[in-house]
Amino acid sequence: MPIYTPTVAAPNPVTGRYFHTASPSAAATSASLSNGVLRLTAWRVERAIAVDRLGAEVTSAGDAGSLLRIGVYADTGNSYPGALILDAGTIAGDSATVQDITGLTLTLAPGIYWIGGAVQLVTVTQPTVRILGSVYTCPVPLGSTSISAGQAVHGFSQSSVTGALPSTFTSSVTTLGAGVCPRIHARVAT
């Protein structure tokens, strides 16, 4: 599969500035991301970058002690998540704020990566998380049968992720449509 090469050079990352790792279109929120389900979407990195913070927005608090665990996976070369690059840690699901995980050291070469998170430690009330709207960063495999009209796939999910993120993304996962993956932001390292 040929790799998309932009005709205009991507802008240089600006030290200390934040950016969204996927589409900034995210007016929506969700309180139904499901406890223990890791949801990833593609992140296209067009220039080498160093990141020192990752984060997300919780818009309504969930159970006391609930969390959103954030992570980054490498691409297998087939537009599919592979090996874990970084389990960044967690933000509080019981605090309705924009939150950062600080002190990270994440250096990425140009390429496709997979980023997202898993809501964890929910007993009754899930946190409401800002989610991605419409996203398109790379072709996502749809399967070996014909696709239905209007089918949109924006990433993948893996269930039973209740603690640290798995070292590799499993091959038996579910594809995700629009509006079901947490919107993750990053900060260029200072």
User: Residue 5 and residue 180: Cα distance in Å, rounded?
Assistant: 28
**Residue 57 belongs to a domain:** yes
pLDDT score for 134:
62
What CATH number did the domain enclosing 184 receive?
2.60.120
DSSP 52-115: EEEEEEEEE--STT-EEEEEEEEE-SSSSEEEEEEEEEEEETTS-SEEEE-S--EEE-SEEEEE
**Residue 68 belongs to a domain:** yes
Range of the domain at 91: 29-137+154-162+177-188
pLDDT score for 181:
87
**Residue 96 belongs to a domain:** yes
Tell me which residue of 101, 119, 132, 133 sits closest to 61, measured CA to CA. 119
DSSP annotation of 36 reads T
pLDDT score for 176:
65
| Mean pLDDT split into 10-residue runs, the chain, 190 residues | 57 85 76 93 92 97 98 92 97 98 96 95 96 65 56 78 94 64 92
Per-residue model confidence as pLDDT tens digits over 67-94: 999 999 999 998 889 999 999 999 999 9
**Residue 93 belongs to a domain:** yes
pLDDT score for 190:
81
Q: 3: which residues sit within 8 A by CB, 6+ positions away?
A: none
**Residue 22 belongs to a domain:** no
**Residue 73 belongs to a domain:** yes
**Residue 66 belongs to a domain:** yes
pLDDT score for 170:
84
Let me know how long the chain is.
Answer: 190
Q: What is the pTM of this model?
A: 0.87
Instruction: Give the total number of structural domains in the chain.
Output: 1
Tell me which residue of 117, 105, 113, 104 sits closest to 46, measured CA to CA. 113
**Residue 13 belongs to a domain:** no
